[in-house]
Amino acid sequence: MTPVSTDIHVTSSEPLLSLKCVSKSFGANQALSGVDFDVNAGEVVALVGDNGAGKSTLIKAISGVQLCDEGEFFFRGKPVKITSPQDATALGIATVYQDLALCDNLDVVANLYLGREEFATGLGRAAYQLDETAMEKSSLGLLDSLAVTTIKDVRVHVGSLSGGQRQAVAIARSLLGEPSVVLLDEPTAALGVSQTEQVLNLVHTLRERGLGVVVISHNLENVFAVADRIFVLRLGRRAAVFDVRGVSREDVVSAITGAEFGVGLGSHEVSE
């Protein structure tokens, strides 16, 4: 059993989102077992672990896609119920899944405002006429606020964009509801070096805006580039929580695999 050091760094403010003793099983398979998890405002928490560790199950529980069997949820310190995606959205939790759920045959504006269309006023409203000018202006402003400089034309079809640009559109769309917490599922998967850098810069921007960001990733290099804390799941249980300052990749790999490297794993673990 890994010891916990008292020489730690933790965020002192009340967590934006906190889960206590969350469990979920699928028949005989215990996907999550007594997991505690939290994320603070202006913090990036990386959620890592081998395939089958429980990462997707935890994210689905937070996003309301899948109900837990046991556990408590708190948002800004108050107990809440998340029983559907609508509950999560209403609380201020946005999720960007790995498939991005973009419509390749629509332009950037239409993807950003899909299901949130703005209508013209007056007679235009009565005729359900879209306010294309307002949506285009807002789209440009949103991308500019996120420092997305690679998309010059918001009227280009999303299907023609690069992987990094598509990820930027998906993240920007999630922010239209002004969430407090953003969940990113493998945001740099299958991206090239330059596209990965664009997405990581975008994650930094979300942190600077004061959002709580949870990133699922298998790429430890990217994790160390953006995360403040690293939360390790192994076989459905919380294996370790690390402050990235001073922790090594070997420590994290040891927690993921359960191997013993003899390098003082517990000396970097964050006590909660």
pLDDT in tens, 1-55: 333 332 333 444 689 999 999 999 999 999 999 999 999 999 999 999 999 999 9
Q: Convert the pLDDT of each residue in 243-271 to its tens digit.
A: 999 899 999 999 999 875 444 444 344 43
Closest CA to 184 of 48, 12, 35: 48
The pTM assigned to this predicted structure is: 0.85
Q: Compute CA distances 42 → 2, 81, 205, 226, whole Å.
A: 28, 23, 10, 12
DSSP annotation of 107 reads B
Which residue carries 């509950």 as its tokens? 87
pLDDT value at residue 12: 44
pLDDT in tens, 99-116: 999 999 999 999 999 988
Domains and CATH numbers, the chain: 17-92+179-268 (3.40.50.300)
Residue found under tokens 């609380």: 91
Tokens matching residue 101: 């759920």
Q: Under a CB-based contact definition with an 8 Å cutoff, are residues 231 and 19 in contact? A: no
Q: What is the mean pLDDT of residues 70-87?
A: 96
From CA 44, how far away is CA 226, in angstroms rounded? Answer: 7
Give 223-237 pLDDT, tens digit per residue: 999 999 999 999 999
pLDDT at 127: 58
Q: Which residues pair with 32 in a beta bridge?
A: 24
Q: What is the rounded average pLDDT of the residues 88-93?
A: 96
Identify the weakest region by mean pLDDT among 4-13, 67-76, 124-133, 185-194: 4-13
pLDDT for 265 equals: 40
Residue with tokens 């081998």: 50
Q: Please, are residues 171 and 97 in contact by the beta-carbon 8 Å criterion?
A: no
Percent of the chain with pLDDT over 70: 88
Rounded to 5°, angle at Cα 201 from 212 and 186: 65
Per-residue pLDDT, 125? 57
CA-based radius of gyration for the chain:
20
* CB-CB contact of 101 with 170 (8 Å): yes
Confidence of residue 124 (pLDDT cuts 50, 70, 90): low
CA distance 182 to 210: 11
Q: What is the mean pLDDT of residues 60-79?
A: 96
Those residues whose C-beta lies under 8 Å from the C-beta of residue 146, and which sit 6 or more positions away, are 168, 171, 172, 175, 202, 205, 206
Digit-coded pLDDT (tens) for 137-160: 999 999 999 989 899 999 999 999
Question: Higher-confidence residue: 190 or 255?
Answer: 255
* Residues forming a β-bridge with 19: 37, 73
- Backbone dihedral region for residue 21 (phi beyond 0: left; psi -120 to 50: alpha; all else: beta): left
Predicted confidence at residue 122, as pLDDT, reads 66
Strands 212-216 and 43-48: parallel
* Average model confidence (pLDDT) across the chain: 88
Q: What is the pLDDT of residues 180-189, one digit of tens each?
A: 999 999 999 9
Residue recorded with tokens 């990235």:
244
Within 8 A by CB and 6+ apart from 10, the residues are 243, 270, 271, 272
Average pLDDT over every residue of 61-68: 95
pLDDT at residue number 4: 32
